[in-house]
Amino acid sequence: MNNVYLNRTKNAQAISNLKDRISKETFFDFDIVLENENVRLKPLTVTDRDQLSKFALDQDIWAYFALKMTDVRSVTNYIEDALLQRESRLRYTFLIEDPSTSTLLGSTAFGNFSKNDSRIEFGWSWLGKQFQGTGINSQVKFLLLSFAFDILNLERVEAKTDVLNIRARKALTKIGMVEEGILRSHTLMPDGRRRDTIYYSMLRNEWPLIAEKIFKDFVFRCSASKHSFRDCR
């Protein structure tokens, strides 16, 4: 296990030690935990099915999602797909929880990773209704951005959302993401609607100023242990 505790005054040696173990070539092979005093992101596993099922019937959560959890079977499909995507090194799904109580708050993920292009997307994010508007989303995005830029040394982090999802769009601009453009009729939604998708991004050379300006008092902690895909199902 390797731990890094950071605020915006970075511990260069701690970052260097973790980078010796985790890189953009290998991070899918590790069980990565990102946390601070407010939130913890931990890898999704099959043992999380019961916790996730509590959110399945709250359809307001899934209004803008291309994939939905609506019953126990769809929760199982959600988990199986997430584990397969990780094993295929395409998407890495985290659960979001309260670090003091281990209460499940929601989920988020890295995906659409391109090693050659040194870029990754964050998204597939949702929070239980009672946790929305509490500042948790900004804490989560800070942890993801810190890992992508400070540990993986990526050049670009991107995100996309439904053009109708005004709340998500405001949240992305609030953390310094730059609106890039709209892809029309981009995604088929479960209700048959053709979604217009809007893209946002942040670049590596933009991150230091954004981190200092927007996330100055935020703290980043990362731990990692080697993962066994054989044991994950």
Over residues 86-101, the pLDDT tens digits come to 999 999 999 999 999 9
Alpha-carbon span 22 to 6, nearest angstrom: 16
Domains of the chain by start residue, with CATH: 2-231 (3.40.630.30)
Instruction: Note whether 92 and 33 are within 8 A (CB).
Output: no
- Beta strand 40-43 with 30-35: parallel, antiparallel or unpaired? antiparallel
Q: What is the pTM of this model?
A: 0.91
Task: State which residues of the chain have pLDDT below 50.
Answer: 1-10, 230-233
- Of the CA atoms within 13 Å of residue 79, those in its CB half-sphere come to 20
What local confidence, expressed as pLDDT, does residue 231 receive? Answer: 44
Query: pLDDT tens for residues 196-220?
Result: 999 999 999 999 999 999 999 999 9
Q: What is the reported pLDDT for 11? A: 55
What end-to-end distance do the CA atoms of the chain give, in Å? 22
The whole-number pLDDT of residue 134 equals: 93
- Cβ–Cβ < 8 Å for 79, 44: yes
